[in-house]
Amino acid sequence: MKHALSVTRDQDFAAWYQAVISEADLAEESGVRGCMVIRPWGYGIWERIQALLDAEIKRTGHENCYFPLFIPLSYFEKEAEHVDGFAKEMAVVTHHRLIQKDGRLVPDPEAKLEEPLVVRPTSETVIGAAFSRWVQSWRDLPVLINQWANVVRWEMRTRMFLRTSEFLWQEGHTAHASEAEAREETLKMLEVYRSFAEDCLALPVVAGEKPENERFPGAVATYSIEAMMQDGKALQAGTSHFLGTTFSFAQNIRFQNSEGQQELAQTTSWGVSTRMIGGVIMVHGDDDGLRVPPRIAPHQIVIVPMLRDVPEDDAIVDYCMALLVTLQKLDAFREPVRVLLDRRPAKAANKRWGWVKKGAPIIVEVGGRDVAGGNVSVLRRDRLYKDDGKLDSAVVAKDDFVATATDMLVEIQSALHTQATERLHSNIERSITDIDALKSYFAANDKSGWAEVQWSKPTGAGLEKVVQWLKGEKLTLRNVPLDAAAADGACIFTGDEAVERVLVGRSY
């Protein structure tokens, strides 16, 4: 069986991932290391993610706003742990003007800023400063905001969508009168991310609390959703942080409570990014390219006229236009079906394989025989081939296809989620009881998956010793699943009595 891509997942998973991005026209290099140009199909997927997730964020009572890209360095200096966590990744603006010198543009020494400005790596500090102005009384709480923006973190080792110097994301920030309310908010938004990943991206994830060494800088507790890629590695697909009073103390977010006393607000932050697109590629892609879940596909159905003559065959075009109009009247997932008629002057076979690589959920081909017989040829991207290796392109009556198109989209969404869920559950090993067995498990196969093991929750030097051992094995602690079974033995790392179970795996 010949595939559309030049490299398969088994041959070289990393090369396959880059090939999908290139061949599916998702993104390309920009000329600036670590920054990418997101092409229309890739950005269309991000727009769908934005639209669906934004609706969920607003449904939970949050409002969108926008904060500046540049943040005064002094804002970061107020919170030592936070700035230390991001110091090596910060891009800093020191001058506001360039001049010509010896035939080159250089910063003007006379234009040095009085205070350096950090290009936004995350917005806790600048938003905290705003909260300190907005919040005076318990009546001003809670404050529930979100922004869609770009951030810059100067990465040394970059990979498109997964780890780039500039990326797109949403970041929510809230302030509350009580710790209980803030903790509830943190877990509420974690559940928003979990259900969004499962329902919209068809990504099965494990929601849980991060170990102490994996917390967001300055956070009291960090929670994540972890997705398993086809090579067995973990991808942190979203995080939600309970910040306590760390930032409210640094930024002076105080309020007068109902008894007239001054208190520090309890804050949270949470976010997901374009990294989710990388997750969609590595969870759903196959050796022919990307497979896009219908809920986030820019075009759910693509109609490809089999045009051999120039000028266009009017009968085929008219037939396709009528089909387009009919399909656009349908609803799937409580939204109008998104349909594209591809009239580009290119060979139909090339257009078909182009859409296969992009991962359009349903590709409909229409030729002269189809017009004469009132039919269409339908290709489902979730099951591209028959058992004999030939393309599974079914010729069906046009009216029958229209009657079943929305059900087909729902089936494709469900099938992608089911496939990924079965892979996730079958690749989590829960029987490992000692560190040698853990080492052997991951040494045996690079695509082993994850291990869920007993964990005593060590801190300080004890935790650092575990982290360093894991680092030597190229492993990391992922999270403590919220739905894990109760601990019932000794921690495999320390020998102490376990208090919970933690996921261990290789990661991106």
At 81 the pLDDT is 74
Residue 194: band (very low, low, confident or very high) from pLDDT cuts 50, 70, 90: very high
Task: Please say if the pLDDT value at position 87 is more than 90.
Answer: no
pLDDT tens across 447-493, in order?
Answer: 679 999 999 999 999 999 999 999 999 999 999 999 999 999 999 99
pLDDT tens across 218-238, in order?
Answer: 999 999 999 999 999 999 999
Best mean pLDDT range from 89-93, 291-295, 313-317, 447-451: 291-295
Preceding omega of 109 cis (within 30 degrees of 0): no
Whole-angstrom Cα Rg for the chain: 26
Enumerate residues 6+ apart whose C-beta is below 8 A from 235. Answer: 162, 226, 227, 228, 229, 275, 278, 279, 282, 507, 508
Task: Please say if the pLDDT value at position 40 is more than 70.
Answer: yes
Is this prediction's pTM over 0.85?
Answer: yes
The Cα 148–Cα 499 span in angstroms is 38
Enumerate residues 6+ apart whose C-beta is below 8 A from 215. Answer: 221, 222, 241
At 446 the pLDDT is 67
Structure tokens at 128: 């905290």
pLDDT tens across 342-379, in order?
Answer: 999 888 889 999 999 999 999 999 999 999 999 999 99
pLDDT tens across 140-167, in order?
Answer: 999 999 999 999 999 888 899 999 999 9
pLDDT tens across 310-325, in order?
Answer: 456 789 999 999 999 9
Task: Please say if the pLDDT value at position 241 is more than 90.
Answer: yes
